[in-house]
Amino acid sequence: MMVAGPFDASTRIGFIGLGAMGHGMAHCLLRKGLHVQVMARRAEVARAFIEAGATAAPDPADLGRNCALVLLSLPDAGAVEEVLFGAAGLASTLAAGSVVIDTSTIAASAARDFGQRLQQRGVWLLDAPVSGGKPGADAGTLACMVGGPAPVVDACRDVLGAFCKTITHVGELGAGQVVKACNQVAVACALLGVGEAIALALAEGVDPNVMRDVLLGGAARSFSLEKHAPRVIDGSFKPGFRAQLMRKDLRIALGAARAAGAVLPATALAEQVLDATCEAGRADWDWSAAALEVQRRSGLAIPATPEPS
């Protein structure tokens, strides 16, 4: 089965899922001068993209008729399945050789299932979750880990490059989601360590900013210590990346681990801490607010809910 690409500035590109991440990614495509068609449930969201140069479709099926390449940025596997295979879904109208690039974070097993179902219709699927958060989506500096056949990945590189600084083909379909799960495991466990360091400093009466400065000069230096610790110390939790989404991602990782026979004890603890964070009314706070749960368990004062606007 052939792919319709390579996809370039002459291709009409569809985009579905214009939330915190998709909003920035779609605008990056427009800034690159690409022909973008969006589908949004809310008229005001579609209108803003039309004003920026996009066209709009009323439903996924209509968008699929017009586009050879469609990008998705959706909250979970259920939403992806509905857009692909639900009433007026993309799969009903996409031409053979078309490609769907799913940048959502879902289970690898779901990505493989969706890909097999699309293949029966002559359509390719790439699982291409991204890392870098909303700032990276807005700036076009995301890191993308892509699973799928190499020729299909290569046909899509120019388009992905509109919002990604790095694009790494990590294996066959589903491998992108596996690597993204590994990313979330690593960063969540790192944040838990940083949160515990801050809680210990506070409990012992040491200025956490001084503690952080010292740790940045040694082996404890990390992205979480650089970027997340100031949020925790200052009590600034406007998202960013929401706690409920990181909880979802860790649950995906834990489910994959169980299926594969792997044991992730630190990840299980991080998920419990994030779950408590969400249940305490902080589900829409930046996920680094999980460090507050560590402080709460240490008997330290924490900000009252609600916080971010």
Q: Are residues 115 and 17 in the same domain?
A: yes
Give pTM, 2 decimals.
Answer: 0.92
Which residue's structure tokens are 């210590």? 225
| Long-range contact set of residues 255-263: C-beta below 8 Å, sequence gap at least 24 | 255/107, 256/107, 256/108, 256/109, 256/178, 256/181, 259/109
| Higher pLDDT among residues 240 and 184, named by residue | 184
Residue 167, φ and ψ in degrees, nearest 5:
-130, 115
Asked if the model's pLDDT at residue 4 lies above 80, the reply is no
Half-sphere exposure of 89 (CA within 13 A, CB side): 17
Q: Are residues 133 and 212 in the same domain?
A: no
Distance of CA 195 to the CA centre of its chain: 22
What is the average pLDDT value for the chain, to the nearest integer?
A: 95
Q: Does residue 306 lie within any of the structural domains?
A: no
- The domain boundary, picked from 171, 206, 228, lies at 171
pLDDT in tens, 206-217: 999 999 999 999
Rounded to 5°, the CA angle 10-16-19 comes to: 125
Q: Does residue 36 lie within any of the structural domains?
A: yes
pLDDT in tens, 161-180: 999 999 999 999 999 999 99
Q: Does residue 88 lie within any of the structural domains?
A: yes
Longest Cα–Cα distance in the chain: 65
Q: Are residues 159 and 189 in the same domain?
A: no
Q: Are residues 156 and 184 in the same domain?
A: no
Q: Does residue 264 lie within any of the structural domains?
A: yes
pLDDT in tens, 286-307: 999 999 999 999 999 887 776 7
How high is the pLDDT of residue 12?
92
Q: Are residues 229 and 293 in the same domain?
A: yes
| Residues spanned by the domain of 242 | 179-297
Catalytic position from the list 134, 180, 238, 248: 180
Q: Are residues 264 and 285 in the same domain?
A: yes
pLDDT in tens, 234-272: 999 998 889 999 999 999 999 999 999 999 999 999 999
Do the beta carbons of residue 274 and residue 241 sit within 8 Å? no
- Per-residue pLDDT band for 309 (boundaries 50, 70, 90) equals low
- The domain boundary, picked from 110, 141, 171, lies at 171
We report the CATH number of the domain holding residue 162 as 3.40.50.720
Q: Does residue 117 lie within any of the structural domains?
A: yes
Q: Does residue 60 lie within any of the structural domains?
A: yes
90: DSSP letter: G
How high is the pLDDT of residue 6?
85
Total number of domains in the chain: 2
238 part of the active site = no
pLDDT in tens, 17-76: 999 899 999 999 999 999 999 999 888 999 999 999 999 999 999 999 999 999 999 999
